[in-house]
Structure 1
Amino acid sequence: MAALMLLGGGSATALAADTPDGRSPVVIVNKGDNSKIAGRDLVNGNDNTIGSGHTVTRTSPSPSPSPSPSPSPTPTPTTPAQLVAWYQTGTTTGDSTPYVSPAPLAGHASVVEVAAVHLNNPAQFPILTLNSDIPSSPKYAPMWRDLDALKSKGVTVTALLGGAETDTRPGTFQLLDSDFNMYYPPIRDFLRTYDLDGIDLDIEETFTEATAERLIRQLRTDFGADFLITLAPVPGDLTDAPGSNLPNIDYRTLEANVGSSINWYNVQFYCGNGSLADTSDYDQIIQNGFPASKVAAGAITWQTSECPGYVPMPTLQNTLRSLATKYPGFRGAAGWEYAPSTDVNAPNCPTGPANWYCAVQQALPATTTSNP
């Protein structure tokens, strides 16, 4: 996707030590207006998510012929393809837009991913925020309650870290580069406090390959083999020639060095970064050495001029079915984002935003990929 979440200003004060549901806070409270906070989505009206964006447009060099990295083993077909629902708009109560419960995604999305978590300079802001607030803010209590209920029904619940960072201040991954020992523990503690099942790294700023590998290795060490670690690149990131972005993050190098600790990539085929109108952009990634078992096809879930690339559901379903036929072990799909999703009138599906995910689920193979 090509749009843009800005990190913004504010001031830090204190809130209550515990939330209404008894959770302990992870960090101090930010009471600033945060009018430019990063992690904003493409829907106007929510005072902590106003604006446009989940990723930024980038121009990738044409891949040059070179040996492909050793692909990760294709998993044994045992479980359904994954379907990821990114969830940012409507996560809070008391704002100018209503809370949108993720509960209807049960039985349709296999992963629900709350967005977006950011690191900040603690001299100016809370060191970790979920959009423009600390995760323990009372406005998030209904969301955490409903996400816990989804977990009890077998849905994997994860968090998106990062997103577009276009402000002049360092973003999440630049801060990790600058002082890993300071900025990694708040991420670890947040994931533990909310008992999350995984993390999606949405790297849209300068970040070195060395720190990316360190972060992934540390997450795997701290959370074990069952913890889901995914990344959210745009297609060009996975069609670059190997080594072309070093010393910054280089996905061919990343896959070769720590691919065994990465479950898959939620690739964003929208906002000018590729398309799912057919399989051609996905095919280029596979031709560049990434196995289909590690490449989920990410689509935008509603039509907006701020982020072109919406694919009508019949066409998207045809593309997904073609990918599943062409590539045994096809990982599945992802949708940015839940609350504004188009109700496509899919039969035998819930009404509202979950309808889009239910329709995508109908197009995915019943048995293709191994457990995350």
Structure 2
Amino acid sequence: MVACNSAGLFARILPFLVPLTCYAQATDHRVVVYYQTTHYNGSTTNNVSLLPLINSQPEISVTHVLIGAIHVVTEEQGWIRLNDYTPDNPIFDHVWNDAAALQAAGVTVMTMVGGAAAGSWPRLGGDEANFELYYGHLHDFVGTYNIQGLDLDVEQSMPLSDIIRLIDRLKADFGDDFIISLAPVASALTEGGGNLSGFDYFELEAQRGSSIDFYNGQFYFGWGDASSPADYEDIIDDGFPAEKVVMGQLTNPANGNGFVDLDRVLPVIQELTAENPTFGGVAGWEYFNSLPGGENAPWEWAAWMADAMESGASVVKREISSTEKLRRSVRKEYRQLRREVKHFYRSYIA
């Protein structure tokens, strides 16, 4: 049973019944680009260059480039691999040269660890001896290639204590400026939602939220829907702050199930940015064939997304109905109440 103070409820809603002028505070929002395909058509010489992200347009739109995927492997395999080769393989020379150029231009360069391929997380877990053996090689890789942060994409079950140990060690070794993000499926950021990681992201945020910069939620493959603001709003309603939740999207229908056309994404991005001035931003999987430019101009995706968020933040005087104003205001005001009701339902009724 849920009891409400009707007098207090009415008093809190009443201000929203008068005509409102809506203002969205302009702010910076992340534009995150995942960079996994480093060569076109399986070639080892036809490079996919990152440099157009910083030199093709007057303004740099991308904020973070996440190189991946890094796999923690056995000694026989070389300890650390970037996709199918060790990071020092000459086929990646352009990757590290481009990364240095991006960093010089002010773009944050990170690497993504894990993903769909199994193996990395058991090696970075387990007892202390096992952890130290494999973590040492990851540590050396970060230092060798001047990596500014790690995106931890845990898609196999891992104990909460293991991911906390890894986060604590990274912060201890590389300092507070070292960026840590995670890449859960979007539903894992909602109460009772599907989750590939094994540990509870609510518990992780409660225990180590101060060490985690943001979450790249995967709003595709059935784990979330980028064609509507609803799934993102559910995450915010359930308690994650908007500034830490990045809406991850597919950049091309060839990259997986759940691609949403840019024309359909535009109003979603605009609404989320307008309603959440601290909206965490967007992420794109992946770079090389990103629309609208495709393989000929994949860098256009970052500029397009930055423009979409800027337009959402600047739509401060757009005409919306009084009903819509009321809906948005009440939704924001009663996020905590909805959160408590959902928690009660799942704990005692469902």
Which TM bucket (shorter chain)? Answer: 0.7 to 0.9
State the match for 1:195 in structure 2: 146
Q: Which of 205, 211, 232 is equivalent to 1:261?
A: 211
Q: Distance in 1 between matches of 2:284 and 2:98?
A: 19
Pick the structure with more helix per residue. 2
Task: Indicate whether 1:103 and 2:51 are aligned.
Answer: yes
State the SS of the aligned residue for 2:301: helix
1:311 correspondence with 2:260: yes
Q: Distance in 2 between matches of 1:247 and 1:130?
A: 21
Q: Which of residues 325, 336, 346 in structure 1 aligns to 2:285?
A: 336
SS of 1:177's equivalent in the other structure is coil
Aligned equivalents of 1:130 and 1:88: distance in 2? Answer: 9
Supply the AA of the counterpart residue of 2:179.
Answer: L
Q: Gaps (5+ residues) in structure 2?
A: 3-24, 55-59, 314-350
SS in 1 for 2:279: coil
1:166-181 pair list within 5 angstroms: 166=118, 171-178=119-126, 179-181=130-132
Asked whether 1:163 is paired with 2:112, we answer no
State the partner residue of 1:86.
34
How far apart, CA to CA, are the structure 2 residues paired with 1:131 and 1:358? 27
| Cα distance, 1:94–1:137 mapped onto 2, change above 3 Å | farther
1:363 correspondence with 2:308: yes
**Identity level (%):** 37
Following superposition, the deviation at residue 96 of structure 1 comes to: 5.7
Q: CA 1:282/1:245 → structure 2, altered by over 3 Å: closer, same or farther?
A: closer
- Following superposition, the deviation at residue 78 of structure 1 comes to 8.7
**Equivalent of 2:188, from 214, 237, 262?**
237
Which has more radius of gyration?
2
Conservation of the 8 A alpha-carbon contact between 2:108 and 2:148? yes
User: Is this contact kept in 2: 1:79–1:366, CA < 8 A?
Assistant: no
Give per-residue Cα distances to partners, 1:66-104, cap 9 Å, x unaligned.
Answer: xxxxxxxxxxx8951111000011258983672110111
Paired letter, 1:108: S
C-alpha spacing 1:183/1:79, structure 2 compared with 1 (3 Å): farther
Higher deviation after alignment, 332-341 or 231-240: 231-240
Aligned mates of 1:279, 1:112 — CA distance in 2 = 25
SS of corresponding position for 2:208: helix
The TM-score with structure 2 as length reference comes to 0.75
Residue 69 of structure 2 aligns with an amino acid whose one-letter code is: A
Q: CA deviation at 1:174?
A: 1.1
Give, as a single letter, the amino acid of the residue that structure 1 aligns with 2:259.
Answer: Y
CA 1:86–1:130 in structure 2 vs 1: closer, same or farther (change >3 Å)? same
Correspondences of 1:320-331 after superposition (within 5 Å): 320-331=269-280
- Indicate how the Cα distance of structure 1 residues 144 and 94 shifts in structure 2: closer, same or farther if over 3 A, else same: farther
Mapping for residues 127-166 of structure 1, pairs under 5 Å: 127-166=79-118
How far apart in 1 are the matches of 2:261 and 2:247? 15
What is the CA–CA distance in structure 2 between the aligned matches of 1:235 and 1:153, rounded to whole Å? 31
Taking the aligned partners of 2:42 and 2:195, their CA distance within structure 1 comes to 43
Residue 314 of structure 1, CA deviation? 2.0
Q: Which amino acid aligns with 2:167?
A: I
RMSD (Å), alpha carbons: 2.7
CA drift of 1:155 comes to 0.5
Measure, in 2, the Cα distance between the counterparts of 1:216 and 1:232.
14
Alpha-carbon distance, 1:223 to partner: 1.2
Verify the 8 A CA contact 1:113 1:159 in the aligned structure 2: yes
TM-score of the aligned structures, taking structure 1 as reference length: 0.71
Aligned residue in 2 for 1:211: 162
- Rate the CA distance shift 1:121–1:344 in 2: closer, same or farther, 3 A: closer
Kindly provide the CA deviation profile for residues 170-199 of structure 1, in whole angstroms up to 9, marking residues without a partner as x.
x10011113211111111111110111111
2-structure distance, mates of 1:341, 1:137: 26
After superposition, what is the alpha-carbon deviation per residue over 1:93-142, rounded to whole angstroms, capped at 9, x for unaligned? 983672110111121211011000001122x4211111111101111011
Structure 1 gap ranges (5+):
1-64, 66-76
Deviation, 1:241, is 3.8
Deviation at 1:143, TM superposition (A): 1.3
Q: Which moved further from structure 2: 88-97 or 259-268?
A: 88-97
1:68 alignment partner in structure 2:
none
Deviation of the 1:344 alpha carbon? 5.1
Counterparts of 1:181 and 1:260, CA distance in 2: 24
CA contact (8 A) 1:85 1:109 kept: yes
